[in-house]
Amino acid sequence: MTISADISAWLLEHGFQEPPALAQNPLGKHALILAAQQGRADVLTFLLHQGANLEVLDAYGNNALWAACFAESSQCIELLLQAGIRVDYQNPSGASALTYASSSGKQAVVAQLLAAGANPLLTTQDDFSALDLAANRQCLQLLRAAAKALHTPELK
């Protein structure tokens, strides 16, 4: 994949050497996480084609999927999921991207993560699940349905 002038400018603006821009910048930030956080699907696509490490974490122990959820970028979330990022990764406090999205009231993100197989029953170190932390009715309903589906055996 060739690098566009726009992607090259973004990398340089954020202190990344291009190509391949897979290391941290002088501020200790990873291009993959920053691109996801900004909802830059074009940059994310470029980095994934360059072999970006899906296991990189920010200073708080969150991965790029969390950052894409912060941006509410369904395209970035999908790109990361297709690349194989762990949908149920839990940060040091035990929160997953689903926990974050639910507690932030991001129902479209919650729905997308659940459709990708995110586990609604994972709990934080304080024993709270995404369902416990749902910030609005829409997230609560999505998570209740997902949790119920996990506990209901399929009829045969």
User: Is the domain of 61 the same as that of 108?
Assistant: no
- Highest mean predicted confidence (pLDDT) among 11-20, 124-133, 146-155: 124-133
- Give me the chain's average pLDDT, please: 93
Cis before 20? omega within 30:
yes
- Residue count (the chain): 156
* Same-domain check for residues 44 and 102: no
Segment 84-125, tens digit of pLDDT: 999 999 999 999 999 999 999 999 999 999 999 999 999 999
Give the CATH number for residue 12.
1.25.40.20
64-78 burial string, b = 16+ CB within 10 Å, else e? Answer: bbbbbbbbebbebbe
How many domains, in total, are found in the chain?
Answer: 2
65/42 same-domain check: yes
Which helix (H) or strand (E) element contains residue 31?
helix 31-37
- Does 155 have pLDDT greater than 60? no
**Domain span at residue 115?**
88-156
> What is the spatial distance between Cα 95 and Cα 66, in angstroms, rounded to a whole number?
10
